[in-house]
């Protein structure tokens, strides 16, 4: 097992500032933001509660439409990997920075926290999950009992509510 390795990060925290999206010369979008995570513990010597906050720089590729929803103070779930990069500062010194390259971003909190850039009349239109494409190949669906392909949903509906389509949803 010495040849295996894992690079996985899961964070739940609050955004420290509004997300910013920029584009590479080839046209790929890069959304960056910072997330604060905190931990609390009771000091054994003094008996006082102490708190420590860590800041994490997050990079999200190919998701240019999420920046309006990723605003300061929002609570988010981030899943991704660590990536360390190096650069030279203005004095020519080599510096290192470690970022979390996000695969999944989920906005947490209720409607009062969620919201989007516009009023939606009581319905939340915020994206609940942003996922990076993991593979272009579709996953095969099979029956857990080994009976071949799983039954498909009725045309124009979901497997849970036959006859209801996306056109029937009020938002």
Query: What is the chain's pLDDT, residue by residue, as a tens digit (171 residues)?
Result: 568 999 999 999 999 999 999 999 999 999 999 999 999 999 999 999 999 999 999 999 988 788 899 999 999 999 999 999 999 999 999 999 999 999 999 999 765 554 444 333 333 334 444 545 444 433 334 444 444 443 333 344 334 444 555 555 554
| pLDDT score for 105 | 94
Q: Closest by alpha carbon to 17, among 35, 40, 4?
A: 35
Look at strands 29-42 and 75-88 and give their pairing.
unpaired
pTM reported for the whole predicted model: 0.61
- Eight-class DSSP state of 66: S
Distance CA 108, CA 77 (A): 7
| Residue 114, C-beta contacts closer than 8 angstroms, at least 6 positions apart | 74, 107, 124, 126
The span from the CA of 31 to the CA of 17, in Å, is 12
Enumerate domains of the chain plus CATH numbers. Answer: 9-133 (2.40.50.140)
Tell me which residue of 36, 1, 30, 29 sits closest to 15, measured CA to CA: 36
């Amino acid at each position: 097992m010495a040849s295996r390795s894992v690079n996985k990060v899961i964070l739940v925290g609050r955004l420290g500032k509004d997300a910013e999206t920029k584009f590479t010369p080839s046209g790929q979008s890069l959304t960056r933001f910072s997330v604060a995570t905190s931990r609390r513990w009771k000091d054994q010597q003094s008996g006082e509660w102490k708190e420590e906050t860590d800041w994490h720089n997050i990079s999200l590729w190919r998701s240019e439409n999420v920046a309006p929803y990723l605003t300061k103070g929002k609570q988010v779930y981030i899943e991704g990997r660590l990536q360390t990069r190096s650069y030279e500062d203005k004095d020519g010194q080599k510096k290192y920075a470690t970022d979390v390259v996000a695969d999944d971003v989920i906005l947490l909190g209720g409607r009062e926290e969620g919201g989007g850039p516009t009023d939606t009349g009581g319905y939340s239109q915020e994206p609940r999950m942003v996922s990076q494409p993991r593979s272009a190949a579709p996953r095969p669906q099979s029956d857990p009992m080994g009976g071949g392909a799983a039954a498909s949903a009725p045309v124009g509906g979901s497997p849970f509510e036959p006859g209801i389509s996306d056109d029937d949803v009020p938002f």
